[in-house]
Amino acid sequence: MTAPARIDVDLGHLRLHALTWGDPAAPLAICLHGFPDSAWTWRHLGPTLVAAGYRVVAPFTRGYAPSDVPADGDYHVAALAYDALALHRALDGDDRAVLIGHDWGAMTVHAIATRTDHPFRHLIALAVPPIAAVRDLSIRSRVRLLPSQVAKSWYIVVNQLPVLPERTLDRLIPLLWRRWGPTPATEDVDNALATIPTMAHRCAILNYYRAPVRSRVNERYADDSTAWLRRPLTPITYLHGDADRCLHPGFVDGLPEVLPAGSTVVRVASAGHFLQLDQPEVVGRHIVAALDATGFPRHPGRDSGGDG
């Protein structure tokens, strides 16, 4: 497997550490991870995208070591979207750039997709559909799906508690990886645990769940504070594992009616919540096909297999 380089990116308001693959002159692909995870979740897709002609940058998002714990203490989706747009600017991204997100990274993608002025040529989300898709389900579908989903989402309630979740992450993270499988996840559990070396980091990653219900949004991000709740305005490609035991695959059923024209929804067989790890070749193939379909900007590195 191709080893990534590692870089620090100063966004002005925040420093992010990132894994990167590929030629810096190639079109930019930013890949955002979720919880409880790390930038290493993209270790298969990174080289795949390099072979397709991209430069891949996968940051450890705010609060996940070795990136900074943000001084403003804000973990709202609006702050995550602000970081993604700032990362595009800091890396000299242009209109060939693409954004890919999983879990909280997917939520970030959906928030950016509500803007018509974002700089990305295409947006791709994995494992978490737009909130609008869940909200717009029929009553019959809600009655069918919600009891099962409430049982799956118990950890979100636990994460609202003070102090206790920070002290139990060493047990919670391996438990969630086992339940959300099916891929054995020892390496990924270790990678996730490495992102929380201090109590400040532990509090930070839990505050992703607390921010939507507790926190006021920092003035810097306030203009986009409700974007994550709205329907996307620009097309996206969405992938969901058929064996996802974190978010019921049934929530994807009404997604085509919510997404803008030109969007694509893909169910990935034999894949759980971390579908990019469970079925890396299938997921990589779908993502490259989606990007090619949007009009790939030719780059000399395409199909060269370069590893940066």
Q: At residue 305, does pLDDT exceed 50?
A: no
What is the domain count for the chain? 1
Is 301 part of any domain?
Answer: no
Q: At residue 232, does pLDDT exceed 50?
A: yes
**Residue 298 pLDDT:** 53
Query: Degrees (nearest 5) of the Cα angle 170, 251, 256?
Result: 130
Three-class SS state of 191: helix
Is 305 part of any domain?
Answer: no
H helix runs in the chain, sequence order: 45-51, 77-90, 104-112, 131-135, 139-152, 154-158, 164-180, 186-194, 199-214, 255-258, 275-278, 280-293
Mean pLDDT (whole number) for 215-228: 85
Summarize pLDDT for 237-284 with one digit per residue, the tens: 999 999 999 988 888 887 888 889 999 999 999 999 999 999 999 999
Is 304 part of any domain?
Answer: no
Please state, as a whole number, how many other Cβ atoms lie within 10 Å of the Cβ of residue 119: 17
> Rounded to whole angstroms, how far apart are CA atoms 200 and 111?
26
Summarize pLDDT for 55-65 with one digit per residue, the tens: 999 999 999 99
> Rounded to whole angstroms, how far apart are CA atoms 218 and 234?
26
Summarize pLDDT for 130-179 with one digit per residue, the tens: 988 777 766 566 667 777 787 888 888 999 998 899 999 999 999 999 98
Is 298 part of any domain?
Answer: no
Tell me if 27 sits within 8 A of 97, measured CB to CB: yes
CATH number of 173's domain: 3.40.50.1820
Strand-strand pairing, 55-59 and 15-21: antiparallel
> Rounded to whole angstroms, how far apart are CA atoms 108 and 113?
9
Is 299 part of any domain?
Answer: no
For the chain, give percent helix, strand, coil, nearest 5: 45, 15, 45
**Residue 212 pLDDT:** 87
Q: What do you get for the CA distance between the two ends of the chain, in Å?
A: 13
Is 308 part of any domain?
Answer: no
Three-class SS state of 99: strand
Residue 180 sits in which domain range? 5-293
The sign of the dihedral angle between the CA atoms of 69, 71, 77, 83 is: negative
Is 72 part of any domain?
Answer: yes
Tell me if 308 sits within 8 A of 55, measured CB to CB: yes
Gyration radius (Cα) of the chain, Å: 18
